[in-house]
Every structure is written in C-alpha cells, then in structure tokens.
Chain A
Amino acid sequence: DAKTTQPPSMDCAEGRAANLPCNHSTISGNEYVYWYRQIHSQGPQYIIHGLKNNETNEMASLIITEDRKSSTLILPHATLRDTAVYYCIVRVANSGGSNYKLTFGKGTLLTVNP
C-alpha cells in the first residue's frame, strides 16, 4: 500500500473549516484514500473514503487532486469535539486475496480551539 505524509499537528478555530492535507504521491490506480480519526483513548472512527471523485458525507468532505497524489479532508464547521488525531490511509479496496491490513501512520493531531 502507498505511503502517506501528513503534518504532525494543526490548529483550527471553533466554527471554522478544518482542512487536513495528505500527500500520497506513490498511490496506485486501484488504491483508495481512507480517512479515520481517533479521539483520545478511544478506537479510531471511520470518516470517509474515495478513489478519484470528491466525496461528501455527514461528517466531512474529501477532495482528491486530479493526479490523485494528494487529498484534503475538510471538516466544514469544526467543533471542540473534533479535536483528534486524523489518519490518512491509502490501500486497495479489492485485494483479491487475504490481505485485509489497514496500516496506520502517525496522523495529524487536530486541535480545535474555542
């Protein structure tokens, strides 16, 4: 699976949009971009995933560049409860075998300030 690069930390004011970048310059054509977040001492929570089109759900939006080498997770109106470590993960959605691994990096610690 392709490696990702994220900033170690970011700050955001409450009520503002939080834009979290992720670089995945070695992504392959069949690899998806997944985003998870982990609030302190809890299990990671799935947020969103996409292949090449932009995606939106009730939690966030995912913008993937046309060359697919980077993406941005957008939380449109950040709240204090969005303070968490955000993980960007790239992997195939259909491995055709038994490789079900999801490999987590260090992620980005997003701190939402009042």
Chain B
Amino acid sequence: ETGVTQTPRHLVMGMTNKKSLKCEQHLGHNAMYWYKQSAKKPLELMFVYSLEERVENNSVPSRFSPECPNSSHLFLHLHTLQPEDSALYLCASSQNDRGAFYGYTFGSGTRLTVV
C-alpha cells in the first residue's frame, strides 16, 4: 500500500454510462494528479490539482471531469466515453513546498474498459 488508494481497481462501463473514479491519499500531500496510460503508450498527464485548485488541464475531452473537494480526495467523473478511452487511470500525489518538488506517490490505478 503506497498511501494513495484508488477505487475501483477495475471498471467496465458502456458508452452511455456515467461513472466516477476515486482517489484518496493519506500522506498529507498538497497536490494530486490524474494520468492516463493506454496500452503500450507512455503515461499521459491529464489534470493537476494544487491546494485543491486545478492548475493544469492537458486538452482533455470534456467527457472527463475532475473534482477535488479537499486535499485528500480526487475524483474523475466519466460520461459518454468511447472505446478508445479504455486504459489504466492512475492517480498520484506529491508534496510541493514553495515550489520544491519531492516526487510523486502513485496509486495502483483503475483499469477501465469501455464497451
């Protein structure tokens, strides 16, 4: 257990469904991230939250909607996804003090399959 917990571990959803991925960190970190990893591709950064404020959105389609209600929780709301959105979705957290960066801690990911 890394201190970053993602649920569910596996998710199968239809293209018309609405679902949410959840990430919780117990490390006291002040920044959280969503990454997408498609088969045989590098990790792609999707969203960055720092102190609960979204600081980066890497041209992600609007069918992905992040939410960060507090510094310990991060959600990724999904609706009307496409089969090509099937991937491993990874959450990470980090502690960034006055811009200093101490590295990421990742969760185990949610394996999403869109049918």
Are A and B physically bound partners? yes
Interface positions of A (Cβ within 8 A of B): 34, 36, 41-46, 49, 91-98, 100-107
User: Do residues B104 and A101 form an inter-chain contact, with CB atoms below 8 A?
Assistant: no
Shortest Cβ distance from B101 into A: residue: A93
Residues on A with C-beta less than 8 A from B42 are 104-107
A42 to B88, alpha carbons, bound, how many Å?
Answer: 9
A101 smallest CB distance to B (angstroms): 6
Shortest Cβ distance from B102 into A: residue: A93
User: Do residues A93 and B56 form an inter-chain contact, with CB atoms below 8 A?
Assistant: no
Interface positions of B (Cβ within 8 A of A): 2, 4, 31, 33, 42-43, 45, 48, 50, 55-56, 88, 90-92, 94, 96, 98-109, 111
Shortest Cβ distance from B30 into A: residue: A100
Q: List 18 A-B contacts (CB under 8 A).
A: A34-B103, A43-B90, A44-B43, A44-B104, A45-B2, A46-B103, A46-B104, A91-B101, A93-B100, A93-B102, A96-B99, A98-B55, A100-B33, A100-B50, A101-B56, A104-B42, A104-B43, A106-B42
Choose one: B56, B98, B103, B106; the contact of A49 (CB below 8 Å). B103
A97 to B45, alpha carbons, bound, how many Å?
Answer: 18
Residues on B with C-beta less than 8 A from A105 are 42
Choose one: A44, A49, A95, A103; the contact of B99 (CB below 8 Å). A95
B5 smallest CB distance to A (angstroms): 11
Choose one: A41, A94, A100; the contact of B88 (CB below 8 Å). A41
A105 to B45, alpha carbons, bound, how many Å?
Answer: 12
- Give 8 A-B pairs besides A44-B104, A46-B104, A94-B101 with Cβ atoms closer than 8 angstroms: A41-B109, A93-B100, A95-B101, A96-B99, A102-B103, A102-B104, A103-B45, A104-B43
